[in-house]
Copies of this chain bind each other. A is one copy, B any other.
Amino acid sequence: MSTPALDIALVHHPVVNRDGEAIASAVTNLDLHDIARAAKTYGVVRYYVVTPLEDQQKLAQKIVGHWTQGRGGRVNPDRKEALELIRVVDSVEQAIDRIEKRCGRPPKTIATCAAGRPYSIGYSRLRAMLDKGTPCLLLFGTAWGLSNAFIEGVDCVLDPVRGRTPYNHLSVRSAVSIVLDRLVGERDI
């Protein structure tokens, strides 16, 4: 199977806290690992970790370095392969610039959020975009999600993941895994 021109970004700013205020959230070790492993499984090109905070960038680089150049990767080469997808960047714009350099055109930016929007698009529509070879950058918010102001600036918003219940509090690690499976996983299962 060919792999689509799909990149993902885990956004630590601009996101909101429990009260809806704009914040920059902290990088966590397991977000790097779990999401890199899912990205590698589904053929994602790059996994951008977005934070403007220098200390958080250093922390993320240190973790990634341990697994890609340090002892971690020698002990666990599978983990090395996954974490090699990670690029730490200042902003979503920086991720877009890098993808544009690689693809020759800017990616469509697609925001995810747990709450539905009237204008959000379905998974089949985004699958069709990927099948046509359109570069896509899928954006996931940490903390209480991407800020409204940010979401208003993207190209599309993807339908939220819904289970069989009204409960919509998946971890971002679960949400990334499910969305990737819906977009690029096996369909006839």
Name A's B-contacting residues (CB within 8 A). 1, 3-4, 30, 33-34, 37-38, 40-43, 78-79, 81-82, 122-124, 159, 161-165, 167-171, 173-178, 180-182, 184-186, 189
- Of B30, B42, B164, B170, the contact of A165 (CB 8 Å cutoff): B42
**Copies of this chain in its oligomeric complex:** 2
The chain B residue sitting closest to A2, CB to CB, is B164
Contact assessment for A174 and B43 in the assembled complex, using a CB-CB cutoff below 8 Å:
no
- Provide the residues of chain B in CB contact with A123, threshold 8 Å: 189
- Provide the residues of chain B in CB contact with A178, threshold 8 Å: 177-178, 181, 185
- Provide the residues of chain B in CB contact with A173, threshold 8 Å: 34, 171, 173-174, 177
Contact assessment for B81 and A167 in the assembled complex, using a CB-CB cutoff below 8 Å:
yes
| Known A30-B30, A178-B178; contact A185-B171, beta-carbon cutoff 8 A | no
- Of B3, B162, B171, the contact of A37 (CB 8 Å cutoff): B171
Contact assessment for B122 and A38 in the assembled complex, using a CB-CB cutoff below 8 Å:
no
| Known A40-B169, A164-B42; contact A189-B122, beta-carbon cutoff 8 A | yes
A31 to chain B, nearest CB (A): 10
| Known A181-B181, A189-B124; contact A42-B174, beta-carbon cutoff 8 A | no
